[in-house]
Amino acid sequence: MAKARILSGMQPTGQLHLGNYEGALRNWVRLQEEYESYYCIVDWHALTTLCETPEQIQHNTRQVAIDYISAGLDPNKCAIFIQSAVKEHAELHLLLSMITPVPWLERVPTYKEKMENLQIESASYGLLGYPVLQAADILVYKANAVPVGKDQLPHLELTREICRRFNYFYGKIFPEPEAKLTEYPVMPGLDGRKMSKSYDNAIYLSDTAETTTQKIRTMFTDPLKIYKKDPGHPETCPVFALHNIYNKGETEELSVVCKAGELGCVDCKKKLTAAMNEALAPIRERRVQLEENPKELDDILTAGADKARAVASATMAEVRCAMKLG
């Protein structure tokens, strides 16, 4: 039996950090074994807010692709490609925009959030209509499932509504994509808030071991543990939360000695640094290889786009036929 198909992607609005890795990439690596997988870098989506220059988007696109591969995505098992290299995304986006009511787009929570957070006075159609492009990204591959977190479910439900509306007007061309819910650990940033590029509190996949060491050294800890002998509260400490992810073997012992006031924050951070750098070493090694051999990256992206384009082209032939176009 043919494998079910999945599609997912990330915007190249900066380099990927550990939150992206634990929240998505690590799961994608597992799913490529189970599904026919398509993973793209959605560079058109990065244009919706005009926050980055074309040169920044171009640079970030390659860096995100490097992160994908370094994290374990295998071009022999999945298609890794840049969204803009497959023009069928844009064609389907145009056609889906003809049947998508504006109120559907205005109710998307992140639309209002971006307007407020980025202080945008007058939104472009691209910002309002990016969920339609997102729907096109998914539907052009007839994806059966999309790996998402719970916070992304409203976006996927809109894709499903657009899918149903198209199928009602023109016949059942697209399967309704199901959510492949992913549970992932809370990834605290250096300041205790959620790890985010916008907060400038992230550890990036591109960071060296030395940079990671320095960042963890300055990381926010338990505010009630001022001296080494003070009892700690590991359940609320951001450093300990990272131990739970990267140093599970010592977690129980560290919790006991921390609560007993037998472990200082400096030593706790040193243990985390050693465990994290060991875990990230293979990713860093692969990153260096790709940085030093840009042709290898180009070949992977070209092959991924060719594979994606073959599927997208076949889908668009069905769409044009159903809509009596061309």
Phi-psi region of 171 (alpha: psi -120 to 50; beta: other; left: phi over 0): left
Tokens found for residue 115? 């307007």
Rounded Cα distance, 184 and 147, in Å: 12
Rounded Cα distance, 128 and 45, in Å: 11
Beta strands in the chain (DSSP E): 5-10, 36-41, 78-82, 145-148, 178-181
Between the alpha carbon of residue 98 and those of residues 37, 141, 165, the distances in Å are 28, 20, 11
Sheet of 5-10: strand order equals 78-82, 36-41, 5-10, 145-148, 178-181
Residue 244: burial class (beta carbons within 10 Å; 0-12, 13-18, 19+): middle
Asked if residue 173 lies in contact with residue 95, where contact means CB atoms within 8 angstroms, the answer is: no
For 150, residues 6+ apart whose C-beta sits below 8 A from its C-beta are 181
Rounded Cα distance, 142 and 290, in Å: 31
Between the alpha carbon of residue 110 and those of residues 11, 37, 91, 105, 130, the distances in Å are 15, 26, 24, 10, 11
Residue type, 128: L
- Give the residue from 30, 143, 45 showing the smallest Cα distance to 93: 45
What one-character-per-residue DSSP string does 40-105 give? EE-TTGGGSS--S-HHHHHHHHHHHHHHHHHTT--TTTEEEEEGGG-THHHHHHHHHHTT--HHHH
Active-site annotation, residues: 114, 194, 197
